[in-house]
Amino acid sequence: MTRVGVLELRVPQDRTGRFSTELFERYQRSEKALVSALVEMYVQGVWTRKVKAITEELCGHAFAAATVSAATVRLDEALKAFFAQPLKESYPYRILDARYERAREAGVIASQAVLVAIGVDWEGRRLKPFDVFQRKRA
């Protein structure tokens, strides 16, 4: 089972059951790239039906809209976990900014402010948390 569907493989075994291959590691990286591309298409506002058509053209396999949605749910969960963790060190330099990005909310694509706070530690490493600011509609 992969993140994008079921894949049936017949893996050869030796008599002791210790056969291993590096073949699958290469495809796991490809799968991660594919999932990243699916999420990026969703983030950019490409409709899930269009994503299905694109993946069918590129991969010869159409991914269901539910597969794309499940990938984005995992992304949301990872972001929530990132924001919930406490900062481990102090950041003497802080840069605050906001930019407007088009985002889909309740089926409507609208411009929303994305607030960005960049913390820079003493060694020059950056931490980039962000949040989406919801405007009240009249």
pLDDT of residue 29: 59
Q: Strand, helix or coil at 108? A: strand
In this prediction, residue 1 has a pLDDT band, given cuts at 50, 70 and 90, of very low
Distance CA 19, CA 120 (A): 47
Q: What mean pLDDT value characterizes the chain?
A: 72
| pTM of this prediction exceeds 0.95 | no
Report which of 108, 122, 124 is spatially closest to residue 135, judged by C-alpha positions.
Answer: 108
